[in-house]
Structure 1
Amino acid sequence: MAAERKKVIIDTDPGIDDAIAIFVAFQSPEIEVIGLTTIFGNVHTTLATRNALHLLEVAEKSDIPVAEGSHITITEGAKLQSTGHVHGTDGLGNQNIHPPKGKPIEQTAAEFLIQQARIYPGKVTVVALGPPTNIALAIQLDPEFFKNIGQIVVLGGAFAVNGNVNPAAEANIFKDPTAADIVFTSGADVLVVGLNITHQVVLTGVFLHDPTALLAAVNPSVFTYSEGVVRVQTVGITKGLTIFYNKKKRFAEVTEWSDEPSIKVAVTVDAPKVLKLVMERLLNS
């Protein structure tokens, strides 16, 4: 009997590297993409939704639902700036694409995540390729979500390397550090793939951040992981900093680290294998 395909929801801010990850997902027989949820990051949320619908049309997958996510951060309520200088003002390299025919579903991203995790308890993996705001909202809205969701793979953080927005922080975590801290301490099965990993997966000068995180859901065997507590600095000069505590040392005082649930942090990657998988699957799409 063939192994059951893993049901995956991609939480995305497309983004050229998100587009690559989404196309790789569609060519990955190990998984079934059951929805896209959208978030700010590379572009603002409205444009992320438009781009997600466009990518589904290009891939002839318009039957897959798109749920629009939050436009603001979880605590500050700040509308976040997009990174148009990296991905073009439209997020997809200024291709001047036609407006997509499809529309997002009525549910918000958080509502869709909660619903799918309830329908398929323990079977759904969320791959968060942008700031993890929608996932944090789902955790806040539904006290059972952290148990119902199978796994949350987060592209984010910079463990023992410098960040990419400043020396301390990686962009997805920096944009909503409180949301990241909520996800990391929720008790869900969380795997974080940080810059320390994605900077090893390079395609002629381009870091394959998003496809690498997606492949952590598709083929976990190409990574090794450490388990421990991760907390996020939410203010000040090191806002967005991810700190990993391996639980090997016991501290006398009770602190914000004590009794927090462990998550997995990717520590090594078989970069040639990831590159090979990405290229094979892109050429098939």
Structure 2
Amino acid sequence: MTTPEPRLLILDTDPGVDDAMAILLAANSPEVRLLGLTTVYGNVPTALATANALRLLEMAGLEQDVVVAQGAARSLKAGTDMERIADFVHGADGFGDISLPPPKGAAADCSAAEFIVRACRQHPGRVTILALAPLTNIAQALMLDPQLGEKWESLVILGGAFFVNGNVNPAAEANIFGDPDAADLVLGSTSNLRILGLDVTTQCKMSGQEIEELKGRGRYGTFVRDISQFYLGFHREWHDIDAIYLHDPTAMVAVLWPELFTWQRGAVRVATDGVTRGHTVMDASPKGFHGDHGWAAPRPRVEVALGIDSSAVVTLIRERLTAA
């Protein structure tokens, strides 16, 4: 019996403590082969996200094999406003202020959007993209190639709060809030995507004690333990829990084992202004709606994660992060 070839994977990312977990989980997963890390603002500014992506690849011994392509520094309609950077969650360096040395490598000479388009054209139907940050790079890639959704194998998006409150305000989750115009564009571009948000990721947690127990385990356990201390402090103060949410590594598990999630198909729109800016609204109804409204034009029905086997997901995350 032949072993199936690994799936080709691009991570669009803003590392970030939990992004680092997702990237290292991917590096420790033989089911996938990393093609590239594309970077964008969010947890940290884009240039720092690029440096952190390079650091993680060097840590994993993949710096010669995986491309880092720097992406957008601002949202599609940024104007003169500064982007929201979550340094109060992840620390000023994105890694809990543990003061890592600068990376040795450098980013590629193409943009993130150009790299995504090129990779999907070179490997038609074989590339999975996991988007862990605001969707600006993905939207820009679709602007370069509007048929891109037919060329990737799958796009998996971490974002949204469908039937729960958001985490930047009651309406919105951080990645979608970071560029709601890009999110609405991407979610209206193709039915060939999945999205999972706070409805499922907040069910996946690692306690302070479990984080401490990572120390000395496997290749990455001590690093993950160290970078998580600042992140844990944020959760203790703002969420009143002695644990961290495993948002990004949960999304990585959705790439590897989608059967651990319950998916429902429906059209999704994103509010782009007002007090609900960044809110994800799902229409799973089989009926149409009368009148003039934002749902009148046909929208592709995408898969939204509304259920999860959280125990199995957390176990898999812990096992992969502490594997030799």
Give the TM bin, normalised by the shorter chain.
Answer: over 0.9
Q: Which runs of 4+ in 1 moved over 6 A?
A: none
Matched with 1:50 is 51
- What is the aligned length? 285
- Secondary structure, in 3 states, of the residue corresponding to 1:237? helix
How is 1:1-285 mapped onto 2 (pairs within 5 angstroms)? 1-63=2-64, 64-77=66-79, 78-204=81-207, 205-253=243-291, 255-258=293-296, 259-284=298-323
**What is the rounded CA distance, in whole Å, between the counterparts of 1:79 and 1:115 in structure 2?**
30
Aligned to 2:215: none
SS at match of 2:115: helix
Alpha-carbon offset, residue 188 of structure 1: 4.7
Asked if structure 2 preserves the Cα contact closer than 8 Å seen for 1:5 and 1:32, the reply is yes
* 1:123 to partner: Cα distance: 0.9
C-alpha distance in structure 2 between counterparts of 1:255 and 1:29, whole Å: 46
Asked if the contact 1:73–1:79 (Cα under 8 Å) also holds between the matched residues in 2, the reply is no
TM-score when normalising by structure 2: 0.86
Tell me the CA shift for residue 27 of structure 1.
1.2
TM-superposed deviation, 1:224: 1.1
CA–CA distance in structure 2, aligned partners of residues 65 and 160 of structure 1: 37
Shift of 1:250: 2.0
Amino acid at match of 1:36: L
Q: Matched residues in 2 for 1:79 and 1:4: separation?
A: 43
- Which residue identity is paired with 2:151? N
Q: Give the fraction of aligned pairs with identical amino acids, expressed as a percent.
A: 46
Helix, strand or coil at the partner of 1:154:
strand
Secondary structure of the 2:9 match is strand
Q: For 1:275, give the aligned amino acid.
A: V
Aligned AA for 1:48?
A: A
Structure 2 distance, partners of 1:140, 1:85, is: 33
| CA–CA separation in structure 2 for the residues paired with 1:188 and 1:117 | 17
Structure 1 gaps, min length 5: none
* Contact 1:147/1:188, CA 8 A, preserved across alignment: no
Question: Which amino acid in 1 is paired with 2:284?
Answer: N
2: CA distance, partners of 1:76 / 1:57: 33
Distance 2:301 2:70 in 1: 30
Counterpart of 1:272 in structure 2: which amino acid?
A: S
Q: Is 2:57–2:63's contact at 8 Å kept on the other side of the alignment?
A: yes
The CA deviation string for residues 258-284 of structure 1, in whole angstroms up to 9 with x for no partner, is 411111100111101101110110111
2:306 alignment partner AA: V
- Cα shift readout 1:209-264 (whole Å, capped 9, x = no counterpart): 00001111111111110001000000000000000001322223364324111111
Q: Which amino acid is 2:32 matched to?
A: I
The residue identity in structure 2 corresponding to 1:168 is: A
Secondary structure at the residue paired with 1:103? coil
Structure 2 CA distance for aligned equivalents of residues 48 and 17 of structure 1: 13
Q: CA RMSD in A?
A: 1.1
> How far 1:95 moved relative to its partner?
1.3
Larger radius of gyration: 2
**1:120 to 1:188, Cα distance in 2 relative to 1, 3 A:** farther
SS at match of 2:274: coil
| Partner of residue 223, structure 2 | none
Question: Would the aligned equivalents of 2:191 and 2:301 in 1 still touch at CA under 8 Å?
Answer: no
Residue deviations 1:104-161 (CA, integer Å, cap 9, x gap): 0001000000000001111111101110110000001112212112211110000110
